[in-house]
Amino acid sequence: MSLLEIRGLTVTMGVQEILHGVDLDVAERGIVAVLGSNGVGKTTLMRAISGIYKPKAGTIRFKGEDISKLKSHEIVARGLLQAPEGRQIFSSMSVRENLVIGGGAHGLSELERILVLFPKLGERMSQIAGSLSGGEQQMLCIARALMAKPSILLLDEPSLGLAPKFVKGIFDLVSQIRDEGLSILIVEQNAKAALRIADRAAVMESGRIALEGRAVDLAGDPRIVEAYLGGHVHTV
Ligand SMILES: Nc1ncnc2c1ncn2[C@@H]1O[C@H](COP(=O)(O)OP(=O)(O)OP(=O)(O)O)[C@@H](O)[C@H]1O
Ligand SMILES: [Mg+2]
């Protein structure tokens, strides 16, 4: 049984159907990358898993339990956390306050462990979060999610808008987090870097999974190379 098992997930927005029966699995300690062009439904998928959008049909099993009808906070409480697209940190609060809020009941005991992974944040604990650089804000967003001790982390475009030196840092960090025992579902435009750290990958096209397989196989698949790795991909 997979840690996260999605079957026939269908999501509508008004009269428009955005996801048309998505099947996807994330194994324990697995990294699954979701690739796809703009507007194919990647963020919608992430939001449906997090309970922000309610599916019209299908199931989302997490640790064997169907979470598709639960509220977002109930899903968070079960250990599924999303670091959202566009980094929603509390910008007028300090780095420390952001982290402690993320930790909830775990609070300070988690902080020390997290700061080992994020030494840069440790140096900036009193700084107002809104004054961090883009890359640092992204780190804070991920660190805050980790404070809640999730068993799976959903990352929606963590490298978006970051300078190359930060991009490498983010992907290294994701690998490191997995090594600590978490599972990760990551949406990325940076297909090359995502396929490098992922075990498995899925390609979305207009609300469906068009292709799924081992990341190494997809990285060598001519269709992927042409569509996602061909010349326009940033190198890390
Ligand atoms: N709240 C909404 N109301 C209406 N349509 C929506 C809503 N959210 C998303 N959509 C539409 O659903 C489709 C999928 O959007 P989504 O944000 O999931 O794409 P995406 O794959 O994450 O794209 P990107 O790579 O640009 O982030 C788009 O056509 C979008 O306009
Ligand atoms: Mg998106």
| Secondary structure (DSSP) of 87-129 | ----TTSBHHHHHHHHHGGGHHHHHHHHHHH-HHHHTTTTSBG
| Closest ligand (CA of 47) | 1
Confidence at residue 226, expressed as pLDDT on a 0 to 100 scale: 86
Confidence at residue 86, expressed as pLDDT on a 0 to 100 scale: 59
Over range 6-26, report the average pLDDT.
Answer: 97
Residue range 29-53+71-198+216-228 in CATH 3.30.505.50: no
Give the Cα separation of 60 and 48 in Å (integer): 9
Over range 127-141, report the average pLDDT.
Answer: 91
Cβ of 47 below 6 Å from ligand 1:
no
Cβ of 43 below 6 Å from ligand 1:
yes
The residue among 71 and 168 whose pLDDT is bigger is 71
Cβ of 44 below 6 Å from ligand 1:
yes
Q: What is the mean pLDDT of the chain?
A: 91
Q: Where are the domains of the chain?
A: 29-53+71-198+216-228
